[in-house]
Amino acid sequence: MKRTIKFIEKATFSKQLIGSSMILFAVVTLFIYFYLYGLFILAIGLILVHRKGAEIDLDKKQYRELLSIYGFLFGLWEKLPENIKYLSVFKTKENKRYRGFTASATVANEIIKLLLFYNKNNRIEIYKTTDLDDAFNNAKFISDELNIKILDATIKPSKWL
């Protein structure tokens, strides 16, 4: 059984649609007309459709930051540090900016992050979700596999589990 945990940010439909349209237009421009302008459009399209994330492989004790483009995953594996002290589960806010033709709005969404702490204050973000139960299920699984403590920082004051 493969023991990996992966998260990839969700992308909005409009961002995917606009980015995909730009990529299609860029490919047509590059192959039919061979304008370098197509490379510029392609780069913007890829920026719009890419999504970030992380993956941890508990069998091999390694992790990577992910870049996902249409389901293709990119990222270099790195070994987990030997001296991981604990796993922190905490709530934070993630700001998303939405823009229209004449106005923009910033919406703050509450998310829960899982961070591995090592060497005092160094950390690795390994998971992000909006579901508290999902966060604690994954935290429990990871802590059992790595034999480390969990710090519940979703409440004040924080407590060790």
Three-state SS string over 131-149 comes to CHHHHHHHHHHHHHHHCCE
Tally of domains within the chain: 2
Residue 114 to residue 138: CA distance in whole angstroms:
9
With a pLDDT cut of 90, the percent of the chain lying above it is 38
With a pLDDT cut of 70, the percent of the chain lying above it is 96
Last residue of a domain, one of 80, 105, 125: 80
Q: How are beta strands 149-153 and 84-99 bridged, if at all?
A: parallel
Q: Which residue has the tokens 């483009």?
A: 69
Instruction: Kindly report the length of the chain.
Output: 161
For residues 60 and 94, membership in a common domain is answered with no
Question: Which pLDDT score, from 0 to 100, does residue 2 have?
Answer: 63
- pLDDT band, residue 76 (cuts 50/70/90): very high
Rg (CA), the chain: 19
Question: Which pLDDT score, from 0 to 100, does residue 49 have?
Answer: 92
For residues 19 and 73, membership in a common domain is answered with yes
For residues 53 and 90, membership in a common domain is answered with no
For residues 115 and 157, membership in a common domain is answered with yes
Q: Are 159 and 152 contacting, i.e. CB atoms less than 8 angstroms apart?
A: yes
pLDDT at 33 over 80: no
Please give the residue that has the higher pLDDT: either 133 or 94.
133
Question: Which pLDDT score, from 0 to 100, does residue 79 have?
Answer: 93
Question: Which pLDDT score, from 0 to 100, does residue 30 have?
Answer: 83
For residues 121 and 94, membership in a common domain is answered with yes
**Mean pLDDT on 23-33:** 86
Residue 54 to residue 141: CA distance in whole angstroms:
16
Q: What is the enclosing helix (H) or strand (E) of 159?
A: strand 159-160
Domain span holding position 107: 81-161
For residues 159 and 117, membership in a common domain is answered with yes
Smallest CA-to-CA distance from 127 within 73, 136, 84, 119 is with 136
